Amino acid sequence: MEPMISVRHLHKSFGAHKVLADINVDIHTREVVVVIGPSGSGKSTFLRCLNFLEQPQEGDILIEGTSLMAKSTRINDIRTELGMVFQQFNLFPHKKVIENIMLAPVQVRKWPAEQARRKALELLDKVGLSEKAEAYPASLSGGQAQRVAIARALAMEPKIMLFDEPTSALDPEMVGEVLAVMKDLAREGMTMVVVTHEMGFAREVGDRVLFMEQGAVVEEGHPEQLFSHPSHERTRAFLSKVL
Amino acid sequence: MDFRFDIIAHYLPVLLKGTAFTIGVSIVSIIFGSILGLGIGFGKMAPKAYFRWPFHCYINFFRGTPLYVQILIVHFGVIPAFYGSTNVLMTSFVALSLNSAAYSAEIFRAGIQSIDPGQREAAVSLGMTGFQAMRFIILPQAVKRMVPAFGNEFIVLVKDSSLLALIAAPEIMYWSNTMKGQYLRIWEPYLTAALIYFILTYSLSKLLNYIERKV
């Protein structure tokens, strides 16, 4: 079966600084891939390349067989299939929660407002925030804001969800509520790529874990195997610090 | 010292006409200056350096030279070149709009660049085009931050329109000068002019405060 995402010989530099060096990864439908690694290992850059927020210099990324690097590809169309959740939530502060969620379906998918509103309310219910529909983002806690951000991404009915350290900016007591929403999504069969420091989540929900260091995938495997029996010295060293 | 209210009364009708001229020129220049400024502001944010360069030059020229000089160049150089002869009304609109555009461009640029890049990223990651991200996400937030700076710019523009007296544009200062010439008196014409400008700018600042609270 054709992979949902296929990353081939991906290279990315910021100036002279090489951030990603020859990344090759296939991600399949319904798979939850968790990317772990020390700060500066390139894992966020890797994730941001997947929806072209960062442009790689070499290599290619195929989303359902469509090359992101091809001139003929309309990147905006591809992005509608990839939901993205950011560390800092990036909610639109001038719009109410419900408007945050409805905006892209109405403007990009051209849904009628009524349909978008129904979808938004349904998603708010799913993330447990129905009562916040008319609130502004500034009045939300971090955990609530991130759940709204997840709902906003889901409103586009994406095939893939990308999470860029979704719990790193949260107070510890709010991490659980966000991870719970992500676990639900994984259970429903969403294809997910998650950059995180939550090793418990990686172990419990991940189908596969990638360990990145210095811009390369050092090791990948099933979470049980990678956490319990890492085959590389660098993986062992990293895990001994975080577990 | 006697203060002759009678000569102010005598000149009041033309001073009011002059005030209308000043208000008219200011409003038109604010509108055209802002529209032009938005374009120039975007030009200056272009990714390619060679594309930014003309906008950069524009802003530096109009901010770096006196409005006094610009009015003379527009009046005796630019307008005759396009129109065939000098035209006070055209010079008034063109000179003030071009000048205001340079300042507006910088206000737009600073306002837009003050918005967290994460806002744009969130918008485009939802499939929005760059234009949609600008229109629905970035500009509405940036405009809020621009209001105080624009207020300042508009007040300066109203006051700077007094330099149009230089080319005999029939605005407040022109009539005050005429009044001074006719009666050979200083306090009456200039204090009256000062008072009118103050009323205009003070009302404008009140209006802008109101808008600032609203947005």
Nearest by CB: A94 against B123, B127, B140: B140
Amino acid B142: pLDDT: 95
Token pair in block for residue B23: 């208000």
The dihedral over CA atoms of B46, B50, B56, B62, expressed in degrees to the nearest 10, equals -130
Q: Taking CB atoms and an 8 Å cutoff, what residues of chain B touch A108? A: 126-128, 132
Percent of chain A with pLDDT over 90: 97
CB contact B124 to A (< 8 Å): yes
Where residue A102 falls among pLDDT bands split at 50, 70, 90? very high
CB contact A103 to B (< 8 Å): yes
Q: Which of B90, B38, B95, B109 lies closest to B62, judged by CA?
A: B95
What mean pLDDT, rounded, does chain B reach?
Answer: 95
How do residues B89-98 score in pLDDT, each as one tens digit?
A: 999 999 999 9
Q: Which residue has the tokens 């995938």?
A: A217
β pairing state of A216-221 and A208-213: antiparallel
How do residues A13-44 score in pLDDT, each as one tens digit?
A: 999 999 999 999 999 999 999 999 999 999 99
Detail the DSSP E strand segments found in chain A: 5-14, 17-27, 32-36, 58-63, 66-67, 82-85, 160-164, 191-195, 208-213, 216-221
Distances (CA, A) of A156 to A137, A160, B127, B141: 19, 11, 9, 23
How do residues A82-101 score in pLDDT, each as one tens digit?
A: 999 999 999 999 999 999 99
CB contact under 8 A, B140 and A79: no
Phi, psi (degrees; rounded to nearest 5) at B46: -60, 145
CB contact under 8 A, A92 and B137: yes
Token pair in block for residue A85: 């959740």
Which of B167-176 are b and which e, b meaning 16 or more Cβ less than 10 Å from the residue's Cβ?
Answer: bebbbbbbbb
Token pair in block for residue A49: 């390349």
How do residues A121-156 score in pLDDT, each as one tens digit?
A: 999 999 999 999 999 999 999 999 999 999 999 999
According to DSSP H, which parts of chain B are helical? 5-44, 49-64, 67-73, 79-83, 88-113, 117-125, 130-132, 139-160, 172-183, 187-214
CB contact under 8 A, A80 and B140: no
Give the Cβ contact number of residue B62 at 10 Å.
19
B24's CB contacts (< 8 A; 6+ apart) are none
How do residues B27-62 score in pLDDT, each as one tens digit?
A: 999 999 999 999 999 999 999 999 999 999 999 999
Domain that holds residue B75: 5-213
Rounded CA gap, B210 and A228, in Å?
Answer: 64
Domains and CATH numbers, chain A: 5-240 (3.40.50.300)
Do B137 and B120 meet the contact criterion of CB atoms below 8 Å apart? Answer: yes
CB contact A84 to B (< 8 Å): yes
CATH code for position B121: 1.10.3720.10
Q: How many degrees, rounded to 5, is the angle at CA A227 between CA A209 and CA A167?
A: 60
Rounded CA gap, A31 and A26, in Å?
Answer: 10
Distances (CA, A) of A95 to B54, B146, B161: 36, 18, 39
Q: Which of A77, A26, A25 lies closest to A51, judged by CA?
A: A77
Among chain A residues, the shortest Cα distance to B138 is held by A92
Q: Taking CB atoms and an 8 Å cutoff, what residues of chain A touch B121? A: 53, 84, 86, 90
Do B92 and B166 meet the contact criterion of CB atoms below 8 Å apart? Answer: no
Number of domains within chain B: 1
Among chain A residues, the shortest Cα distance to B121 is held by A53
DSSP string, B79-133: HHHHHSS--HHHHHHHHHHHHHHHHHHHHHHHHHHTS-HHHHHHHHHTT--HHHI
Where residue B1 falls among pLDDT bands split at 50, 70, 90? low
CB contact under 8 A, B118 and A88: yes
Q: Which of B141, B80, B130 lies closest to B108, judged by CA?
A: B141
Provide the edge-to-edge strand list for the sheet that holds A82-85: A82-85, A160-164, A191-195, A32-36, A208-213, A216-221
Distances (CA, A) of B62 to B56, B100, B101: 10, 8, 9
Where residue B215 falls among pLDDT bands split at 50, 70, 90? confident
**What ipTM was predicted for this assembly?**
0.94
Quick check: helix, strand or coil at residue A53?
A: coil
CB contact under 8 A, A84 and B122: yes
The pTM is what?
Answer: 0.86
CB contact B114 to A (< 8 Å): no
The dihedral over CA atoms of B13, B16, B21, B27, expressed in degrees to the nearest 10, equals -160
What mean pLDDT, rounded, does chain A reach?
Answer: 95
CB contact under 8 A, A108 and B122: no
CB contact B145 to A (< 8 Å): no
β pairing state of A160-164 and A17-27: unpaired
